[in-house]
Amino acid sequence: MSIEVKDIHFSYGRIKALDGVDMELSEGAVGLLGPNGAGKSTLIRILLGFLIPQRGEGRIFDLDIKSQQSMIRRYIGYMPEDDCFIPGMDAVSFTSYLGELSGMPRQEAMKRAHEVLYYVGLEESRYRFLETYSSGMKQRLKLAQAIVHDPKLVFLDEPTSGLDPQGRKEILELIMDISSKKDIQVLISSHILSDIEQTCSYVVILDKGRVAAQGKISDLKQVSYSLYEIKIKGDVVLFQKQLQRIKGKVEETVEGVMKVFIPPDQDPGVIFRIASQNNFQIRHFVKSQASLEDLFADTVGVE
Ligand SMILES: Nc1ncnc2c1ncn2[C@@H]1O[C@H](COP(=O)(O)OP(=O)(O)O)[C@@H](O)[C@H]1O
Ligand SMILES: [Mg+2]
Mind listing the pLDDT tens digit for each residue in 197-254?
Answer: 899 999 999 988 999 888 888 777 766 677 888 888 888 888 888 888 877 777 766 6
Q: In what order do the strands lie in the sheet with 55-60?
A: 15-25, 3-12, 55-60, 63-64
Kindly report the protein residue whose alpha carbon is nearest to atom 3 of ligand 1.
Answer: 12
Kindly report the protein residue whose alpha carbon is nearest to atom 12 of ligand 1.
Answer: 17
Span 247-289, pLDDT tens digits:
777 776 667 788 888 877 788 788 888 888 888 888 888 876 5
pLDDT given for residue 70 in this prediction: 86
Kindly report the protein residue whose alpha carbon is nearest to atom 16 of ligand 1.
Answer: 39
**Ligand 1 site residues, Cβ closer than 6 angstroms:** 12, 15, 17, 34, 36-42
Whether the predicted pLDDT of 303 surpasses 60? no
pLDDT given for residue 183 in this prediction: 82
Share of the chain residues as helix, strand and coil, in percent rounded to the nearest 5 = 40, 30, 30
Alpha-carbon distance 242 to 260, whole Å? 12
User: 50-74: b or e for each residue (b if 16 or more CB lie within 10 Å)?
Assistant: ebebeebebbbbebebeeebeebbe
pLDDT given for residue 9 in this prediction: 98
Mutational pocket test of ligand 1: of 15, 40, 43, 190, the residue with most ligand atoms within 8 Å of the beta carbon: 15
Span 162-176, pLDDT tens digits:
899 999 999 999 999
Q: Percentage of the chain surpassing pLDDT 70?
A: 92
* Count of Cβ atoms closer than 10 Å to residue 180 Cβ: 13
Domains and CATH numbers, the chain: 3-219 (3.40.50.300), 223-300 (3.30.70)
Q: How does the average pLDDT of the chain come out, rounded? A: 88
Confidence of residue 301 (pLDDT cuts 50, 70, 90): very low
Span 174-198, pLDDT tens digits:
999 999 887 899 999 998 888 998 9
